[in-house]
Amino acid sequence: MIDHQIRLNAFKWLDEQVQIHGDVLPRELLVQGFQFESERIPLVSPQGIFKPKWLNYPLSITTTPKGPYEDNVTEDGFLEYKYRGSQPDHRDNVGLRSLFTKQIPLIYFHGIIPGKYMAVWPVYIINDDPKKLSFKVAVDERKSIETVDNKIGENSIYRRSYITSIIRTRLHQRSFRERVLDAYCSQCALCRLRHLELLDAAHIIPDTEPESKPTVDNGLALCKLHHAAFDSFIIGISPDFKIEIRKDVLKEHDGPMLKHGLIDMHGSKLILPSKRNDWPNKEYLDFRYKKFKNAS
């Protein structure tokens, strides 16, 4: 019973934190955890499979951006989580196996960049594969937390498959955003604005194009004004990182936002990441710049 109460409180606390910080949370917040009666309950530890001492079963599973284990997607679209070590009877693996048998929900923390994790819950272990040394993990709707009978049936498989596919898309989007903003030191590459709430990770080649890739060199950290202007071909960026404003906009006369926010950008240079590998790909910029010229 205490396990269930702590688990529900963990889910409630996470919901509150996401309302405040968004669904990408800093590790230090998760390590600090929440207060339950007289105890403080952390949500993560150095181990990927984490069971606080007050619980009977693991509370969370975590992936980091650089391993040590490779966590992928299964052929049928669910998440794959590797065993701890190579022994199926390791106590952490046994703990996840118990969650599978009892269909008890837990939390999945997906490492986006070092020190930041996207929180996903509730997730369920829906298969155990000792040959592959891995578990199959599905995301479910929040109301499933209160459901007494969570047996794996045809309806639950379809529902969990659909929800998991949505979450996978969000994982990719959040990963792209965080990696791009991190590369640009969380500032707009045009105006240096640093308020995270007003920053986006813009695709150079839009993600609707088949040539688009979710890589940092296909991204720019832009404030919302400059992102909208870039997407509308009011702003163009040449392959040599020069910023151009569309000719008709340069001729306009309006308030200070137009002058200082756009027109004064004309002819300046893009602010580049410190790591050369993170610089915008010149071929991608050329692809986009030609579209800008055609729009002009």
Alpha-carbon dihedral 26, 27, 32, 34, rounded to 10 degrees? 60
What is the C-alpha to C-alpha distance for residues 256 and 235, in angstroms, rounded to an integer?
A: 17
What is the C-alpha to C-alpha distance for residues 177 and 192, in angstroms, rounded to an integer?
A: 17
Which is it for strands 116-129 and 24-26: parallel, antiparallel or unpaired?
antiparallel
State pLDDT tens for residues 190-241: 999 999 999 999 999 998 888 899 999 999 999 999 999 999 999 999 999 9
Q: What is the mean pLDDT of the chain?
A: 93
* Residue-level pLDDT at 150: 63
- Predicted confidence (pLDDT) at residue 23 exceeds the cutoff of 80: yes
Q: What is the mean predicted confidence (pLDDT) over 118-139? A: 96
Specify the pTM.
0.83
* Residue-level pLDDT at 6: 96
What is the C-alpha to C-alpha distance for residues 181 and 281, in angstroms, rounded to an integer?
A: 16
Distance between alpha carbon 197 and the CA centroid of its chain, in Å?
15
State pLDDT tens for residues 238-260: 999 999 999 999 988 888 888 88
What is the C-alpha to C-alpha distance for residues 243 and 106, in angstroms, rounded to an integer?
A: 47
* Residue-level pLDDT at 67: 58
Please state the domain extents for the chain. 2-181, 185-295
* Residue-level pLDDT at 147: 65
Q: How confident is the model at residue 155 (pLDDT cuts 50, 70, 90)?
A: confident
